[in-house]
Structure 1
Amino acid sequence: MWRLLAGFMLLVCAADATPVLDAKFVPDFGKMYHVKGELSLPHSEIKEPFEAWYDLEGNRSRIDYHNGTVRTFLIGNDMDYGVIYKITPVTTETEIQAIKCFQLNGTKEDPIRPQAALPDLQGFEFEKMENHSGVECEVWKKVTQVGHKKNTYRLWVTRPATPHRFEMEGFNTLLESHNDKYTIDYSDFSSQTEPIIFIPPLGMTCGEFPDPVEERQILANPIQDYVSTSPVSHGHRLFGPFKEKFSRQYESDKEHEERENYFIHSLRFVHSTNRAGLTYSVGINHFADRSKAELTRMTGGLLIPVKKEDVTK
């Protein structure tokens, strides 16, 4: 009797596990899609809406930030090795929110490819089923580590493949702390786009991205670092030039890890703020590797000192 009951329980468990077995097929979002999203940076208390169009076979993509305030076009078939065009308002001492076009050409070694707004799920594994905002979702997980940086990525998704949320949690094994986190919440996903959406505005003269040269890739393709699953981002690579420019020398590996983490948060704050189309801009300076507590003591609570004054005052 007990053996029969145990066998029955096994069948029930196997039946209950069917969604998990189905979930072993990694979600495929297709070669073309349109999706809206909101990037959340808890450390800086920033929420940044965006809208993305992706066409892999057409070798092109477009991502708009803040309801079209900033538009980025990645056209892989333009010129020899593709071009990134960025249309953005620029505020200087003489102009307020002047609409400018900037251009970054691809090279043979680094051609321009369409930029996905969704993570590449290669290396992700099914973790569990979980309710997210009232929807039963599959949760797919990937863990990467380089040096002391250990990142855990999770994607909440339903079938047919529809993204709901992407989350990164960073843990530093030297500091023994969770020192990084950001999320992207997705909505309005569809597998349709219109060819006209990928055509940059006509009649604009596009100049080179402003200095420093090291920041141009982030300026041209902001979302790349957020959907990538590499623990070492373009932002991390900018920490070296920052240390050199401001003659930084840290007393220990632990302090170096802490300062690099503060720098990454400062860099994200700067670029997200400058994409909002405000009447002022902010920039990286010698305060960028300081903690919130240190900045409060030194600047009276200003998170990142402004690079340019508000020209409307």
Structure 2
Amino acid sequence: MVYSTVFLAFFIIASSSAYVLLENDDPEESIIWPSEFNFNAEVIDLVNAYIETLEVWYSAENNRSRVDYINGTNKVYYVGETDDDLGVEYTIHPMTTEEVKNEIVCVKADLEGEQPDFLPVTDDYEYSHEEQLDGKQVRVWTKEREDEDEELIQTTLYVYRTDYDFDVPVKMVRKGSNLKDGATIFHRMTNFKQFGFLVDAADVTLADESDCEEALNTDFKTQIERLHPHNPVHVNKAFHSYKKHHSKTYKKTEVELRKAIFHRNWMRVHAHNRKNLGYRMELNEFADRTAEELKGLTGTRPSPPIAHGSMPFPHTNEELMDLVEELPKSYDLRFQGVLGPIKNQGSCGSCWAFTITATVEGALSKANGGRNLDLSEQSLVDCAWGFKNYGCNGGQIDKAYEYVLKHGIPLESQYGEYIRRDGFCNVDNTTETLKIRGFAMVTPRNPEALKLALVKYGPVAVAIHASNNMQLYSSGVFYDIECDGNYPNHGVVVVGYGERDGTPYWIVRNSWGENWGQDGYILMSAVNNNCMLQDTPYYPIV
């Protein structure tokens, strides 16, 4: 999405002036904000399903403002920039370490520009009509735009004119929809409450400013925990730090677009992590991309219901019942020395190819005593089209194994490096390909069978549904209700299993780079066959 200013959770923030005062007093021609005010706001995020409250004080006369979050648990004071000096931001929050518990600390940082006033810029709004709202006769202003990302952004602002000839905000509703299918992307409503016009200097002045320490240059993940996505200054700081941390560079014309997407994802991450759902999300390298742009992270096509391996799974249910007793309580192939480094498929939908090579590499290594190989994913992208695989546009795990069974996989050192694009097949120029004797499907939706396959045969290829939540996964046991009703779209590799706080999980290897998740891995809940992980598990026979 493209915005002319920073997109906030509940409004477009004013970043330059305390109020708008026009000579034309016609109420249908302008909105006039007061220069001193205090209000409470209730922010309702209808998509991410959470509510947050804040209180704001603003004083143009004192060149200061303040915002309190979570009933004052976190406070931020601002002193605006002047002709002589930079402004200052004081952030106050509790801190707990091994030595102290809930100690209140204050951190000081430079602030460029005026102190924020937390009211929307209204230049582009059009007067619509009047109506009754919360017992007041309000004027309704609207703004609508279609952006370059094929999204429709609609904003409705409800204000009423006081006897002092300035306006007071009552409610703001912002909604973003996908123009292709009408799906809601974001939908946020802010209710402004207890709006007052008298602000004392003490309300916006920190009594003990000298006690605040200078902000240290901390890493991005630590810094983001101290910032807040509802704060316009923090949005700019967080985005600047994000770009530096992930070495991001943008064209001039796309900076505001990336900042808006980043901010939207920050709101998602912030809302999710507050719910304590068992796993955490983070602002990783994908946080400045839309869901449409990230489709290249997936690419595995579901196998048909009648799909099966070239060899049957060699254990009956009766045998499984006897063998289960011998299985370890937890198991992790990462500690067996049979797995190579995490790889990155990039924007090519070749997860299916990375899934196949990882399982074949692991099975061969397990069989020959830990001799690790680096097989060529690019050879599968380029050469396996005759087996219902489509390069960077996706492939099927069972069909990819059929290709490997017939043709093998060359070493990357012989075939050439992975290029993240479809290329010419040059497998004939290689001198050696690694072969498999077959592949088998593990008994579907049987966790004990999957555990046995891991322990006896090595890593197992599976097709899952990878949602947008998974793309921002950070840590914990991942359980996603958004998988329900969807189809598999991503190939990954199960490399172990375990249990945390009573929840069983699978250890899953991904192909989105080692900076994603837990060093490239994710713990996926084994409850209710979440994300269809156990529907079509395959392993190679070497």
Interval containing the TM-score (normalised by the shorter chain): 0.5 to 0.7
Of structures 1 and 2, the one with the larger relative CO (CA 8 A, separation 6+) is 1
Kept in 1, the 8 Å contact 2:176–2:187? The answer is yes
Encode CA deviations 1:20-57: one digit per residue, 9 max, x unaligned.
Answer: x9541322121111111111122222211111111123
Would you say how many aligned residue pairs link Structure 1 and Structure 2?
A: 257
Shift of 1:103: 2.2
- Matches of 1:170 and 1:193 in 2, distance apart? 35
**Which of 205, 216, 225 is equivalent to 1:199?**
205
**Which of 189, 198, 210 is equivalent to 1:183?**
189
Q: Which amino acid aligns with 1:291?
A: N
**Which of 44, 51, 57 is equivalent to 2:48?**
44
Verify: 1:81 aligned to 2:79, yes or no. Answer: no
Q: Which amino acid aligns with 1:223?
A: N
Over 3 Å counting, the alpha-carbon distance change for 1:221 and 1:48 in structure 2 is closer
Verify: 1:28 aligned to 2:207, yes or no. Answer: no
Shift of 1:211: 3.0
Encode CA deviations 1:254-277: one digit per residue, 9 max, x unaligned.
Answer: xxx9xx96x655411444688x8x
**Which of 95, 118, 129 is equivalent to 1:90?**
95
Shift of 1:121: 1.4
Partner of 2:450: none
Which sits farther off after the overlay, 77-86 or 162-171? Answer: 77-86
- Matches of 1:77 and 1:295 in 2, distance apart? 36
Where do residues 100-111 of structure 1 align in structure 2 (5 Å cutoff)?
A: 100-106=105-111, 111=112
Q: Which amino acid aligns with 2:59?
A: D
Kept in 2, the 8 Å contact 1:129–1:136? The answer is yes
Encode CA deviations 1:221-259: one digit per residue, 9 max, x unaligned.
Answer: 833289xxxxxx75995798499579xxxxxxxxxx9xx
Over 3 Å counting, the alpha-carbon distance change for 1:237 and 1:206 in structure 2 is closer
Kept in 1, the 8 Å contact 2:269–2:283? The answer is no
What SS does the aligned partner of 1:267 have?
Answer: helix
Kept in 1, the 8 Å contact 2:80–2:114? The answer is yes
Partner of 2:227: 219
Kept in 1, the 8 Å contact 2:220–2:245? The answer is no
TM value normalised by structure 2: 0.40
Q: Flag as ranges the 4+ runs of structure 1 deviating above 6 A.
A: 213-218, 293-296
Over 3 Å counting, the alpha-carbon distance change for 1:207 and 1:242 in structure 2 is closer
Shift of 1:204: 2.6
What SS does the aligned partner of 2:121 have?
Answer: coil
Partner of 1:284: 282
Which sits farther off after the overlay, 171-180 or 28-37? Answer: 171-180
Which sits farther off after the overlay, 66-75 or 149-158? Answer: 149-158
Where do residues 23-172 of structure 1 align in structure 2 (5 Å cutoff)?
A: 23-77=27-81, 80-91=85-96, 96-106=101-111, 111-148=112-149, 149-160=151-162, 161-172=167-178
Kept in 2, the 8 Å contact 1:154–1:167? The answer is yes
- Matches of 1:127 and 1:146 in 2, distance apart? 22
- Matches of 1:222 and 1:93 in 2, distance apart? 30
Encode CA deviations 1:100-151: one digit per residue, 9 max, x unaligned.
Answer: 2222203xxxx23121122121121111223333433211112345422442
Partner of 1:268: 267
Gaps of 5+ in 1: 1-20, 227-232, 247-256, 307-313
Partner of 1:249: none
- Matches of 2:75 and 2:196 in 1, distance apart? 20
Kept in 1, the 8 Å contact 2:48–2:271? The answer is no
TM value normalised by structure 1: 0.65
- Matches of 1:236 and 1:70 in 2, distance apart? 17
Kept in 1, the 8 Å contact 2:37–2:58? The answer is yes
- Matches of 2:96 and 2:72 in 1, distance apart? 17
Shift of 1:95: 5.1
Over 3 Å counting, the alpha-carbon distance change for 1:240 and 1:63 in structure 2 is closer
Kept in 2, the 8 Å contact 1:34–1:192? The answer is yes
Encode CA deviations 1:140-172: one digit per residue, 9 max, x unaligned.
Answer: 112345422442221111121221101211134
- Matches of 1:292 and 1:236 in 2, distance apart? 20
What SS does the aligned partner of 2:192 have?
Answer: strand
Encode CA deviations 1:161-198: one digit per residue, 9 max, x unaligned.
Answer: 22110121113446653311212111111211000111
Kept in 2, the 8 Å contact 1:62–1:72? The answer is yes
Cα-Cα RMSD: 4.4
Kept in 1, the 8 Å contact 2:130–2:138? The answer is yes
Partner of 1:208: 215
Kept in 2, the 8 Å contact 1:35–1:53? The answer is yes
Gaps of 5+ in 2: 1-24, 249-256, 292-466, 483-516, 519-542
What SS does the aligned partner of 1:196 have?
Answer: helix
Q: Which amino acid aligns with 2:266?
A: L
What SS does the aligned partner of 1:25 have?
Answer: coil
Over 3 Å counting, the alpha-carbon distance change for 1:273 and 1:300 in structure 2 is closer
**Structure having the higher Rg:** 2
- Matches of 1:42 and 1:198 in 2, distance apart? 31
Which sits farther off after the overlay, 186-195 or 37-46? Answer: 37-46
- Matches of 1:102 and 1:146 in 2, distance apart? 38
- Matches of 2:222 and 2:146 in 1, distance apart? 24
Kept in 1, the 8 Å contact 2:116–2:233? The answer is no
